[in-house]
Amino acid sequence: MKSNTLKYSIVILLLLQIPLLVFAQHRISGTVKNNTGEAIPFAGISLRSTSEGTKTDSAGKFSLQTKAKGKQLLQVTSVGYRSLKKEITIADSSIYLDLILESNAQSLNEVIISAGSFEASDRAKGASLTAIDAYTVAGNNADLALALRSLPGSQQIGEQEGLFVRGGTGDETKQFIDGTLLKNPNYPSVPGIQQYARLNPGLFKGILFSSGGYSALYGQAMSSALILESSDMPDKSSVYYSVFSSNLGAGIQELAKNKKSSYGITVGYSNQTLYNSVVPQRVSYFSGPEYLVGDANFRIKTGKTGMLKFYTNWSISDVGMRNADIDSAALRSSYQVKGVSSYNNLSYRDYLNDDWKLDAGLAYSYNRVNTTQKLIGGDEQTVELPNEPFAGKNYHRLINSDFAQGRVVFTRMFSHNQALRFGAEHFYSKDHGMANDTTIALTDNLTAAFAEGDIYLTDNLAAKVGVRTEHSSVISKWAIAPRISLAYRLGSGGQFNLAYGIFYQEPQNDFLYQTNRLNFSNATHYILNYTKKVNNRFFRIEAYYKKYKDLVKTAPILSNNGTGYARGIELFFRDKKTIRNLDYWITYTYLDTKRDYLNYPGEIRPYFAAPHTATIAIKKSFPEINSFVNASYAFATGRPYYNIRYSNAENAYKIYDQGTTKDYNVLNLQLVHLFSIFKSWKQKPFSGVSIGANNLLGTRQVFGYNYSANGNIKLPITLPATRFFYAGIFMSFGIDRTKDITDSNLN
């Protein structure tokens, strides 16, 4: 029996050998497993040179016959894993290989560095934020920056637009779209009244809100960066419109049949005249407020992995208002600002091969701000008074700004999700215009180069090390900014993060119009953070210290002699688990900051800094009745205010009066109900109604005080109307966009 078996085996062996002998084929066989030792079925195995290939079976085994000889490149691919390339030498014998593929899922391998930042993306799991979570906080006025005030680190500023982060001004936060700077995110400023954002927050699938310590890929923002990633292709074609109390909107998204390209156009018009005639306003508007915005996008997939996106946004605005003049009971002050703006962004990304990725972007924006301020008498006629404090109250200013940016970033990817990124960008900006009879002209070329490495130290320890260098032509200065962050992952969802970096920023154009003998201002950040994400709950605590240097001083002379610091502790807790269909987060922000800048007589707590801030964002859905309740509440202790004036006696600026405003409280509420009508239609439309109120409780809010020239009168800066109401209906055909629409609040 034994000998029979042996014979049989020999025959089989011989039979197996025959094809090898006849065709001189070689056999490559083996297994493909993941790094936990589990077999990977259906993994593709191929030889680069001959494009011969096979797939693994259910046990992860494969066998490939080939005529190829000598040095060959074997490629192994499987969905969910990083593709593996292995050089093999095919000699006469067959080859057996045990191959291990690394998962490309971030959660399994990569420690994601998160010091200083909140990421809201379409890849969010559990209680991590999504872009929609971030921009659906009640009371956001469709402005991402306002929505992000519900996250720790930002101040509750109600009298102007912008994101004031960790002792920084609104100007120290910059917004970037697909890598390029969004120079003018909001409509032109109006004193004491927050202006809307130009871009719909629903355009973005990813939002990275960095309150400090951000990547070397970005610059020119001393405090904070809002890094936005625009959406790719829509899932379906669709049309929608909305009718709200003070605005109208309509849009179309068309996805090509082959799903390789898409375009979209949206139009929005907002006119508050009617609303203001029903709800009395503190100021009297003689023009608008009126805003018209249109945008279009075009997206096309190029090749297998490339994506080209074009976005263009055009807007005009007009706000004209009259206020009592603080220095004279007989006079009033008239202020009108008209804006024309365009933002254009062309971005391209592609994988050049398995290891290299390219990201490139071009942006051009145009901005025209036409401001007229007049002193008017009882007969509506302009009054010209030659003496102070009235002499400077009649003015006209027209500024045209052109801004262009080009940017390219190369990424070389390595194993263990390591990567090296490097690139360069150039910013061109040109302002020209008139302030009364004086011509204003400023041209600046800012060039930056940067490199950054994601380094994997151990399974649980990762580092991001970067450096950025910048040169500004207008001030003829160089800056070199190092950035380092580290993440150490503990078991059970906990992680420590550390970050350090220097962040430079050019002085604002208003100062550069006057002199070019200025330097970059800068801030050095030190951040320590701990996060724990587990089971649909997310806890985060962060402490930081920030040192400001070379801030712009306007007195005694225009210089970079300003200094300052900020330090604080911030808490964030989000819970989606405890109660089903209830999602809430709570934050607390402690801020201790002082700075000496502009005309401050020394280091003082700036007017925009409240020591304690707490926020709550709540979203409750009632799927049974297709309804949503969305509420947000914010509390902040009083902010300092000052009357700083020039003292002729002391030949210096002096604080004549100071104090702290009352505490700030705001409750915003929004109700949304979705319904479907025309059910028999082929394309059943999705519809909804939304009503809401900002500052529902009607709390009197004081953001600061305006002083008369002699300091005898002080008037509170408060909301234009105590409460803001909105109500409307929207309807969408094709894709179900109800979610986006209800979410963007539509004020």
Partner 1 sequence: MAILLIYFSASAQQTSGIGALQSAVTKLDQAKTAKDYQALEKEFVKIEASQPRDWLPNYYAAYCNARIGFLLQDDGDAIEPYSDRGELQAKKAESLLDKAKQKRELSELYTVMSMINQSRVFINPMTYGPKYGPIAQQFLNQAKQLNPDNPRAIYLAAWFKYNTPKMWGGDKDLAKQLATQSLKLLENAETGINPHWGKAEDQELLSKYK
The binding site for partner 1 (CB under 8 A) comprises 1-2, 5, 38-42, 57-59, 105, 107, 121-128, 130, 132-133, 235, 493, 533-536, 576-577, 580, 623-624, 626, 674-676, 686, 736
Say which DSSP state 459 is in.
T
Pick from 364, 349, 362: nearest CA to 299: 349
| 15 membership: H or E segment, kind and range | helix 2-23
Q: What's the rounded Cα separation, in Å, for the pair 292 and 313?
A: 11
Least distance from partner 1 to the Cβ atom of residue 73, Å: 27
| Closer residue to partner 1 in complex, CB, 167/202 | 202
| Closer residue to partner 1 in complex, CB, 42/414 | 42
DSSP, collapsed to helix, strand or coil, labels residue 615 as strand
| Closer residue to partner 1 in complex, CB, 59/324 | 59
| 215 membership: H or E segment, kind and range | none
Burial 317-338 (b: 16+ CB within 10 A, else e): bbbbbbbebbbbeebbbbbbbb
Cis before 507? omega within 30: no
Least distance from partner 1 to the Cβ atom of residue 123, Å: 6
Strands 224-230 and 173-177: parallel
SS (H, E, C) 123-192: CCCCCCECHHHHHCCCCCCCCHHHHHHHCCCECCCCCCCCCCECCCCHHHEEEEECCEEECCCECCCECC
Least distance from partner 1 to the Cβ atom of residue 352, Å: 27
| Closer residue to partner 1 in complex, CB, 641/686 | 686
Least distance from partner 1 to the Cβ atom of residue 675, Å: 7
CB count within 10 Å of CB 463 equals: 18
| Closer residue to partner 1 in complex, CB, 4/387 | 4
Least distance from partner 1 to the Cβ atom of residue 532, Å: 11
Helix residue ranges per DSSP H, 258-304:
273-278
| Closer residue to partner 1 in complex, CB, 11/579 | 579
Main-chain dihedrals φ then ψ at residue 248, nearest 5 degrees = -125, 145
Least distance from partner 1 to the Cβ atom of residue 130, Å: 5
Q: 577: which residues sit within 8 A by CB, 6+ positions away?
A: 127, 535, 536, 537
Least distance from partner 1 to the Cβ atom of residue 411, Å: 23
Cis before 720? omega within 30: no
Least distance from partner 1 to the Cβ atom of residue 122, Å: 5
| Closer residue to partner 1 in complex, CB, 92/624 | 624
Q: What's the rounded Cα separation, in Å, for the pair 218 and 236?
A: 33
Least distance from partner 1 to the Cβ atom of residue 205, Å: 9
Q: How far apart are the first and last CA of the chain?
A: 90
| Closer residue to partner 1 in complex, CB, 395/678 | 678
User: Token match 């899922």: residue?
Assistant: 105
| Closer residue to partner 1 in complex, CB, 59/91 | 59
